[in-house]
């Protein structure tokens, strides 16, 4: 049962928010809740940083297919829980992943409706990204095999440890497996909270022994919720902006869900960074979720989240999963050439 009270997260006034965004931009040249780790200095992305995010705008976006593979086989998501992970937090994340292909288990607008946009992407043989996403094996790295601070490279070593473990190693399935390294709220990761909330890449055979698509996403709940769990928390330096209530009662985890969605959509359509992306520089690709970052509903763009929904308890969400609600950013729909999501009002 969901009430369709639309929430328009419009900021106090356009002038205030413009000032705030300029302030933000001066602190972090790229908007801080951008999950991709690098600045895209002179890519089209940066040039249109404040204007690209309105749905319906397509003239500047040149999303191209670069002939590489997309994830067309049933996708299996293997999770590495790094650090201390309360069971309640794991449950929220597992439910989100299980909701991706649960077409009958949740009323629209649903997580599976959101994934449908991702399945519109094909490879050179015309095969679509898989509709099926399943939870695979899980590995706990509670004792922090690589310490409390991870670098971009040591993230790969954590994955190596998980697939080479003597006890219950994670299975190696390069064609269908993706690996999510999820770090607990006291773990520092290179660039985390600066301009990065998560990233995806693939492992190097020289480190891990295989080429495997993986993503890292951090729980920002303690370190920087205003940066990575927006709009459930807001940055201190934007006066007057109020956070909204999170749908599962955990600001850090509810914020992670959208970043997990972001990285899943990009891993599926650009797993080896040679398939679907915009921009001229393959080392700084602008991918299908980057293009719609911060957009959660109709009218979203710039600093404006678009129309979301409120549940009976006043929490804000935009899609239903299996017995839970989530707020997940939209992704680029290359068929219609704009950002789309299951809660679109048209």
Ligand X SMILES: *[C@@H]1O[C@H](CO)[C@@H](O)[C@H](O)[C@H]1NC(C)=O
- Which spans of this chain sit near ligand X (rule: CB under 6 A)? 39, 41-42, 74, 119-120, 122, 128, 132, 280-281, 335
CB 155 within 8 A of CB 189: yes
Q: Tell me the closest approach of the beta carbon of residue 176 to ligand X, in angstroms.
A: 8
Q: Return the closest-CA partner of residue 267 out of 64, 36, 83.
A: 36
Shortest Cβ distance from residue 233 to ligand X (Å)?
A: 27
Q: How many CB atoms lie within 10 A of CB 190?
A: 16
Q: Would you say 7 or 101 has its CB closer to ligand X?
A: 101
- Distance in Å, CB of 26 to ligand X, minimum: 12
DSSP string, 217-241: EE--TTT-HHHHSTTTS--TTSTTP
CB of residue 134 vs ligand X: minimum separation in angstroms?
A: 8
Q: Are strands 5-8 and 133-141 parallel, antiparallel or unpaired?
A: unpaired
Question: Which CB atom, from 39 or from 140, has the smaller least distance to ligand X?
Answer: 39
For ligand X, the closer CB: 126 or 312: 126
- Cα 205 to Cα 52, 139, 210, 213, 233: the distances in Å are 36, 21, 4, 12, 39
User: Please, which residue, 23 or 88, has the CB nearer to ligand X?
Assistant: 23
Q: Shortest CA distance to 256 belongs to which of 11, 107, 44, 33?
A: 33
Taking CB positions, which residue lies at the least distance from ligand X?
A: 42
Q: Is 141 helix (H, G, I), strand (E, B) or coil?
A: strand
Tell me, what DSSP letter sits at residue 130?
P
Cβ proximity to ligand X, 122 vs 337, nearer residue? 122
Cβ 62 to ligand X, closest distance in Å? 13
Q: What is the largest CA-CA distance in the chain?
A: 58
Whichever of 195 and 303 has its CB closer to ligand X, that residue is 195
Shortest approach of ligand X to residue 64 CB, angstroms? 14
Whichever of 6 and 122 has its CB closer to ligand X, that residue is 122
Handedness of CA 318, 27, 196, 43 (dihedral sign): positive
CA atoms of 132 and 102, how far apart (whole Å): 9
- Residue 119 CB, shortest distance to ligand X, in Å, is 5
DSSP 170: P
């Amino acid at each position: 049962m969901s009430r369709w009270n639309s929430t328009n997260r419009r900021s106090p006034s356009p002038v205030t928010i413009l000032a705030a965004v300029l302030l933000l931009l001066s602190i972090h040249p790229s908007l801080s809740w951008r999950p991709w780790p690098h600045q895209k200095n002179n890519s089209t992305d940066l040039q249109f940083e404040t204007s690209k995010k309105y749905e319906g705008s397509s003239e500047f976006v040149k999303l191209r297919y670069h002939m590489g593979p997309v994830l067309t086989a049933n996708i299996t998501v293997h999770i590495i829980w790094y650090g201390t992970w309360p069971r309640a937090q794991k449950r929220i994340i597992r439910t989100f992943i299980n909701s991706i292909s649960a077409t009958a288990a949740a009323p629209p607008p649903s997580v599976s409706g959101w994934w449908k946009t991702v399945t519109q992407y094909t490879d050179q043989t015309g095969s679509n990204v898989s509709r099926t996403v399943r939870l695979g094996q899980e590995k706990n790295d509670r004792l922090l095999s690589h310490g409390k601070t991870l670098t971009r490279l040591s993230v790969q070593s954590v994955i190596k440890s998980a697939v080479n473990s003597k006890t219950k190693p994670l299975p190696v399935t390069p064609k269908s497996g993706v690996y999510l390294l999820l770090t607990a709220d006291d773990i520092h990761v290179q660039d985390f909270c600066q301009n990065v909330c998560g990233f995806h890449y693939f492992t190097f055979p020289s480190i891990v022994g295989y080429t495997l698509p993986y993503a890292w996403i951090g729980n920002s709940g303690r370190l920087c919720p205003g940066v990575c769990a927006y709009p459930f928390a807001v940055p201190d330096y934007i006066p007057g902006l109020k956070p909204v209530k999170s749908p599962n009662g955990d600001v850090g985890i509810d914020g992670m869900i959208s970043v997990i969605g972001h990285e899943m959509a990009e891993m599926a359509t650009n797993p080896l960074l040679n398939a679907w992306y915009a921009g001229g520089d393959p080392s700084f690709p602008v991918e299908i979720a980057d293009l719609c970052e911060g957009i959660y509903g109709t009218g979203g763009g710039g600093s404006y989240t678009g129309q979301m929904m409120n549940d009976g308890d006043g929490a804000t969400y935009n899609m239903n999963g299996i017995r839970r609600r989530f707020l997940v950013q939209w992704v680029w729909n290359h068929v219609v050439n704009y950002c789309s999501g299951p809660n679109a009002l048209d």
